[in-house]
Amino acid sequence: MSALELLRQRLPQARPRIAIILGSGWGGVLDLVADAVQLPYAELPGFAQPGVAGHAGKLVLGRIGAHEVALLSGRIHSYESGRVDAMATPIRTLHDWGCQILIQTNAAGSLKASLPPGSLMLLQDHINFCQRSPLVGETGSERFVNLVNAYDAALRRSALASAQSGAYPLQQGIYLWCSGPQFETPAEIRMFALLGADAVGMSTVPETILARHAGMRVLALSMITNMAAGLSDEPLSHSHTLAQAAASGHAASQLLARIISDLVL
């Protein structure tokens, strides 16, 4: 039985239209989901268990505002197995279940003094620095995905309006994907700044490509947890990322719930 068949069998009344991937620090959104039903990834064929602290590995169904949502609490990163398409089954399953929009969240490092730790950044575009694709091996003309407006302009306008109405500071910027798991060198960060990047992280880009291939509209937000390598004296570590994410998580989760509630589908 496929994951989609299992979901339809267990939750025959569910009709989610918005899928959400919760990255490090964004788990507080789960407390804002009404009528929540949880399913561990282990029970869903093709949903691999994340191996990174801060990624719970469960699918949560419920409502935020008037919208039925499906939240992926945790993602598989390409550095865990080398697979860039590790999130293909979850994303395609939720698309086939009826989700029209994918909202992504992540933790990222900042390349700009005007984007300090604790800031929230709305992705307006990305740089696939790895130049790897989760669509390698796909067939047919659909694999040639147009990534102009990869992060939907109308969704971004709605998110910015939600942030403004709630007095939440929200900047826009360019996210650059590095495969990790090691952090970047100061020389790499200087190069990324020359390329036009505002923040750097180890996720999101493969999932955006998968979602656009499936025909989903994408919105994405970064929680800035640190200044990138060489831009501060603070040593970089995953534990530091989680600590800063925990400190910023409440406001980020409240903003995300507001953005979702305000969406007009």
pLDDT tens digit string along 137-188?
Answer: 999 999 999 999 999 999 999 999 999 999 999 999 999 999 999 999 999 9
pLDDT in tens, 51-77: 665 557 899 999 999 999 999 998 989
Looking at residue 232, what is its pLDDT? Answer: 80
3-class SS of residue 231? coil
Q: What is the mean pLDDT of residues 182-196?
A: 97
CATH label of the domain that carries residue 32 = 3.40.50.1580
Amino acid letter for position 57: G
Q: What six digits make up the tokens of 265?
A: 């589908």
CB atoms within 10 A of CB 228: 27
Question: How many domains does the structure of the chain reveal?
Answer: 1
* φ, ψ of residue 204 in degrees (nearest 5): 80, -50
Find out whether 106 and 204 touch, Cβ atoms under 8 Å: yes
Mean pLDDT across the chain, nearest whole number? 93
Under 8 Å between Cβ of 186 and 68: no
**pTM more than 0.85:** yes
Find tokens 């990222």 and name the residue. Answer: 108
> Rounded to an integer, what distance in angstroms lies between the CA atom of residue 60 and that of residue 31?
11
Instruction: Average the pLDDT over 36-63 and give the result.
Output: 86
Closest alpha carbon to 31 in 3, 50, 56: 56
**In terms of residue numbers, what domain contains 129?**
3-262
pLDDT per residue as tens digits for the range 74-95: 898 999 889 999 999 999 999 9
Instruction: Return the structure tokens found at 158.
Output: 């709605």
pLDDT over threshold 60, residue 227: yes
- Determine if the peptide bond prior to 181 is cis (ω within 30°): yes
Length of the chain: 265
